Structure 1
Amino acid sequence: MSNIEKLISIRNFTSEHHKGLVSLIFVGNWIISKHQTFFKQYDITMQQFNILRILRGQHPKSASINTLKERMLDKMSDVSRLVERLRKADLVERKSCEMDRRAVDVKISAKGLQLLKTIDEEIGILEDTLKASLTDKEVVQLNKLLDKLLSSY
C-alpha cells in the first residue's frame, strides 16, 4: 500500500495517472498548509510574501499591479487588496504612476526588505522536509517531471 493510499484511505485508483494526480493535489495542499502556518508568525500570507519577493527582485524600482499579477504564483489572488494590506503594514509604498494616473506603482519599503531578510533566515526549515525526503538526484528528476507537466499549462 502506498503512502497516499494510507493517508486518504483510498485503495482503488482508476489508474496510475489518477493516483499521481491525487498525490500531487494532496502534496500541494500539505505544502500550502505548512507555508500558511509558517507565515502566520510574521502576520502575512503566502500571497503577500510572494508580492514582497517580487518587489524585492524589482528593488529599487517599483512594479505595477499588472506586473505583480503576471508574476504571482497564485493567479487567483486579488493583488490590489493584497498590496493595500501590505501598505497598511508599512511593508510597501504605493503611488500613482507618473505616465498613467490610473495605474499604481508599488515599491517595497525598508521594513518590507527587513521582514524578508528575517524570513530568509528561517524559511530553510520548509525546504528541510524536501531535503530529508529526496536525494539531490531525485529533486532534479522531480523538477524535470514538474517542468514537463507545466509545459502544458
Structure 2
Amino acid sequence: MKIPNELKNTDDIEFYKARLNIHFTHNYLKNNLLESIKPINLPLNQFTVLRILKVEYPKNSSINAIKEQMFENNSDVSRLVDRLLTKKLVIRKECKLDRRQKEIQITQRGLDLLNKIDNHEKQLNNKISHLSTSEVIKLNQLLEKIRI
C-alpha cells in the first residue's frame, strides 16, 4: 500500500492507513466469500439471508429481524425472501400473534444448499486463523467500537 507524499507528514496518517486497511481487508474477504459461494449459484444478498435463517433454525425469523442483520441497509428483504421462496429455499407463513407479520424459515433444501459450501466457510475462517483467539476477540471489539 502506497501512502501519498502529502499525507506522510500529517498526524492523520495512521487513521488514513487504518481506513485503507479496513477497506482492503473487506474487499479481500468479500472476494473470497464470493468465490466460495459460486458453486451454489446464489447472489450474495440471498446467501446472507439463508445464513441468517440457518443460525435461527429451527426457529422462525421475521423480515425485520433479517433486515437488522443484513450487511446492506437498503436491502429489500421482502423481495429477497420472495426469490428464495421461488427457489424453495425458505417458507413463509403468517405469524400467529400478528397477522400482518410473516414468519420465515429456511427449508431442508436451503440447509442442504448451505451444507454444500461448509468447507468453503472453513477456508474463509482460515484466512484469519493465524490470529490468536485473543487477537480475534480484540479485533472484533475494535471493529464494533468503530461502528458506535
Q: Percent identity?
A: 38
**What displacement does 1:79 show?**
0.7
Q: Does residue 116 in structure 1 map to residue 109 in structure 2?
A: no
Paired position in structure 2 for 1:146 = 143
Q: Does 1:86 align with 2:84?
A: yes
| CA distance in 2 between partners of 1:96 and 1:144 (Å) | 38
Aligned residues: 143
Amino acid corresponding to residue 32 of structure 1 in structure 2: K
- State the distance in 2 between where 1:129 and 1:66 align: 31
Judge conservation of contact 2:93–2:103 (CA < 8 Å) in 1. Answer: yes
- Residue 50 of structure 2 contacts residue 106 of structure 2 at CA under 8 Å; is this kept in 1? yes
Unaligned stretches of 5+ in structure 1? Answer: none
Match of 2:55 among 54, 57, 61: 57
Q: How far did residue 68 of structure 1 move?
A: 0.9
How far did 1:136 drift? Answer: 4.2
Pairing 1:2-151 to 2, within 5 Å after superposition: 4-5=1-2, 10-12=3-5, 13=7, 15-132=13-130, 134-150=131-147
Unaligned 5+ runs, structure 2: none
Deviation, structure 1 residue 140: 3.5
Q: Deviation of residue 137 (structure 1)?
A: 4.5
- 4+ aligned runs moved over 6 Å, structure 1: none
Return the alpha-carbon distance in structure 2 between the equivalents of residues 67 and 112 of structure 1.
18
Q: 1 or 2 for the larger relative contact order (CA 8 Å, sep ≥6)?
A: 2
- Structure 2: distance between partners of 1:104 and 1:140: 35
Q: In structure 2, what is the Cα distance between the partners aligned to 1:41 and 1:85?
A: 18
Separation (CA, whole Å) in 2 of partners of 1:90 and 1:143: 35
TM-score normalised by the chain length of structure 2: 0.80
